Amino acid sequence: MRIQRKKGYFRHYPPWWLLAMVFPMSLHGNPADDAWLEAQEDVQTATVNEGELNFLENPPGQAVHAHHNRITLSRQSLNDGWAGLYQCHTNLDAVPAAEVVFRPGRMRHLQVEKVSEIGRAWVEGESVQLEGVAPGAELCLSGETRVVVPQIDGGFLVRNGPFMRRFLDGFYPMHVRLEIILPPGDWILVRSQPPEQPGFQITRNARGLDVEAWFEGALRTEFQIAPADSRSRMNHKPREQNEQGYQ
């Protein structure tokens, strides 16, 4: 995660540091906003996760930062690794200024699609700049992201993360949903990492996979997809991962 000063602002450390998909999200705050930091002291001193991935069987009672990614693969994605992305953040924390910064070379055609409770949002290079982020703010973006790794057997990997919600040295609950829309054809899920478990659910649908995770710590995901006629290649899959197919 890249941390840098922005002219006119001093960076604060709100509790929703997020490294999502292939990019870090950085935040800037106003040094005069001391009241906001004081309000976080109780969170800072509580017992916190120090980075180990811990799935939550029961979602937290309070609203937490939620992150929804819709990743759309085409046949061309299997050649060049690029997939369509529509991404939304909800329940953002209130800060005077923030920026979403994408890792160089991993995002293109970036656009702001929707803002709510945000004074101003605009694209600047490989980032989205935000001003006047109010409680309950929502931000939606679109573009193309390089998350597909073609395989020589005709299948591919879809890799995402790490996702995290971090405050200083602690990690806090987060809700992530991945909607993966597959290219035309018959495909099977060979394996997922992590495997499906309480707090990390994988659902089949007519278009691909719907993944939902409630967790603390840093989450990285990888899904290995293969043509439906390649079942003979699945002998090496982990025992705990059931074979899943979809049209």
Q: What's the per-residue H, E or C state across the chain?
A: CCCCCECCEECCCCCCEEEECCEEEEEEECCCCHHHHHHCHHHHHCCCECCCCEECCCCCCCCCCEEEEEEECCCCHHHHCEEEEEEEEEEECCEEEEEEECCCCCEEEEEEEEEEEEEEEEEECCEEEEEEEEEEEEEEEEEEEECEEECCCCCEEEEEEEECCEECCEECCEEEEEEEECCCCCEEEEEEECCCECCEEEEECCCEEEEEEEEECCEEEEEEEEECCCHHHHHHCCCCCCCEEEC
> Once rounded to an integer, what is the mean pLDDT over residues 65-69?
89
- Look at residue 9 and tell me if it is in a domain: no
Confidence of residue 246 (pLDDT cuts 50, 70, 90): very low
pTM of the model: 0.72
Determine what percent of the chain is predicted with pLDDT higher than 70.
71
- Per-residue pLDDT at 235 exceeds 50: no
Q: Look at residue 125 in the predicted model and tell me its pLDDT.
A: 86
Instruction: Pick the more confident residue, 214 or 243.
Output: 214
Domain assignment present for 48: yes
The pLDDT assigned to 6 comes to: 40
d(CA 42, CA 225): 44
Greatest pairwise CA separation for the chain in angstroms: 62
pLDDT at 204: 87
| pLDDT of 45 over the 80 cut | no
pLDDT at 243: 41
Q: What is the total count of domains within the chain?
A: 1
pLDDT digits (tens, 9 = 90+) for 144-179: 999 999 998 889 999 988 887 766 667 888 899 999
Q: What is the spatial distance between Cα 90 and Cα 65, in angstroms, rounded to a whole number? A: 6
**pLDDT score for 109:** 94
- pLDDT over 90, % of the chain: 46
Mean pLDDT of 190-216: 95
Mean pLDDT of 75-99: 90
Tell whether 237 is covered by a domain.
yes
- Residue 108 — pLDDT band, cuts 50, 70, 90? very high
Range from 135-139, 188-192, 216-220, 236-240 carrying the lowest mean pLDDT: 236-240
Q: What is the pLDDT of residue 161?
A: 81
At 94, is the pLDDT very low, low, confident or very high (cuts 50, 70, 90)? confident
Of the candidate ranges 38-47, 73-82, 128-137, 187-196, the one whose mean pLDDT is the lowest: 38-47
Q: What pLDDT, on a 0 to 100 scale, did the predictor assign at position 229?
A: 83
pLDDT of residue 168: 62
Looking at the predicted structure, is the pLDDT value of residue 1 above 70?
A: no
User: Is 8 domain-assigned?
Assistant: no
Say if 1 falls within a structural domain: no
Domain extent at residue 39? 18-246
